[in-house]
Structure 1
Amino acid sequence: MLAQIVLFDGFDPLDVIAPYEVLHAAGMFTEGAVSVELVTAEGPREVPSGTGPLSLRSTGTLDPVRADVIILPGAAGELPAEAATTDEDPQDTIPAVLGRTLQTGLPGLVEEALRREDTIVATVCGGSLVLAMAGLIEGRHATTHHLGLELLEATGARPVRARVVDDGDLVTGAGVTSGLDLALYLIEREIGPRVAHSVEQLFAHERRGVVWSTRGQAPALAL
Structure 2
Amino acid sequence: MSAQVVLFDGFDPLDAIAPFEVLAAGGDEAGDGLHIEFVSAEGPRRVVSGTRGMALEATASLDPDLPGFVVVPGASGPIDGDPDNGVDTIPVLLNRFSTSAAAPLLARALANPEVTVATVCGGSLALAMAGLLEGRHAVTHALGMDLLDATGVHAVHARVVDDGDLVSSGSVTSGLDLGLHLLQRRYGSHVAHAVEELFAHERRGTAWLSPNAEREHA
Q: Into which bin does the TM-score normalised by the smaller protein fall?
A: over 0.9
2:138 is aligned with 1:136: no
Q: Is the 8 A contact 1:8 1:40 kept in 2?
A: yes
Count of residues paired in the alignment: 213
RMSD, aligned α-carbons? 1.8
Q: Is the 8 A contact 2:67 2:114 kept in 1?
A: no
> Hey, what's the Cα distance between the residues in 2 that align with 1:172 and 1:149?
12
Structure 1's 157 and 171: CA in aligned 2 closer, same or farther, altered over 3 A? same
2:106 is aligned with 1:94: no
> Hey, what's the Cα distance between the residues in 2 that align with 1:214 and 1:157?
13
Partner in structure 2 of residue 221 of structure 1: none
Percent identity, please: 54
- After superposition, give the CA deviation of every residue in 1:99-158 in whole Å (9 maximum; x if it has no partner): 111332111001001111111011000000111001100010000000000000111101
2:181 is aligned with 1:185: yes
Q: Is the 8 A contact 1:23 1:35 kept in 2?
A: no
Structure 2 counterparts to residues 20-169 of structure 1, below 5 A = 20-80=20-80, 83=81, 89=85, 91-169=87-165
After TM superposition, the structure 1 stretch with the greater mean CA deviation from structure 2, 151-160 or 61-70, is 61-70
Structure 1's 92 and 187: CA in aligned 2 closer, same or farther, altered over 3 A? same
Structure 1's 88 and 16: CA in aligned 2 closer, same or farther, altered over 3 A? farther
In structure 2, runs of 5+ residues without a counterpart are none
SS of the residue corresponding to residue 121 of structure 1 reads strand
In structure 1, runs of 5+ residues without a counterpart are 219-223
Q: CA deviation at 1:46?
A: 0.1
Q: Which of these two proteins has the greater Rg computed from alpha carbons? A: 1
SS of the residue corresponding to residue 47 of structure 2 reads strand
> Hey, what's the Cα distance between the residues in 1 that align with 2:79 and 2:67?
32
Task: Give the TM-score normalised by the residue count of structure 1.
Answer: 0.91
> Hey, what's the Cα distance between the residues in 1 that align with 2:84 and 2:24?
37
Among 199, 204, 207, the residue aligned to 1:208? 204
2:30 is aligned with 1:19: no
